[in-house]
Amino acid sequence: MIAGVAAFAVVGAGFWAGSPTLSILTLWNLGVPGWFSPIVYGLAFGGFLVAIWSAFNSRQVTIATGLLLMVAGGVGPISTYQTALALTAVTLIGLAVGASDIESAPENEEEASTPPVLSGDPISLT
C-alpha cells in the first residue's frame, strides 16, 4: 500500500507539473488521450502497482503477467501488436482464474452439498 501511495504521489505530481508532455507520451505509448485530471492517473497507476505487487506476493505470476500485458496492450489497440498483447493478457488472466476455480472445487459430493461455515459474530443491523 505504501508503494501504491508513493506511486500515486509521483505520477500525480508528474502529470500536474508536466501535463502536456506526459499527455502526449501516454497517448503515443498507451493510447490514453490524457483527458482526465492528474489525480485520476495517479490513482490508476497506484492501484495498478498495488495489484501487481499483491499478485507477485501471493505467487500468482500468471495474473501479474496478464496485468502487465494488458497495460502494454494499451487502451485502444490500433496495431496487431497491441491487439495480440491484449488478447494474450485476457487469455492468461482467464486461464489463471479458471485454474484457481478448479483447485478450489470440492472433491466429492458431500463437500459440494455442505454450505460453507462462516466464523465470527453475525453483523447486526439494529
pLDDT in tens, 28-62: 766 667 677 778 888 888 888 899 889 888 888 88
Quick count: other Cβ atoms within 10 Å of Cβ 7? 20
State the pTM of this model. 0.56
Q: Write the single-letter amino acid at 123.
A: I
For residue 77, the surrounding DSSP H or E stretch is none
Q: How far is CA 118 from CA 18, 108, 112, in A?
A: 50, 21, 16
Higher pLDDT, 24 or 31: 24
Per-domain residue ranges of the chain: 1-58, 59-102
**pLDDT tens digits, one per residue of 73-107:** 766 666 777 778 888 888 888 888 776 655 555 55
**pLDDT tens digits, one per residue of 2-12:** 888 888 888 87
* Residue 126 pLDDT greater than 60, yes or no: no
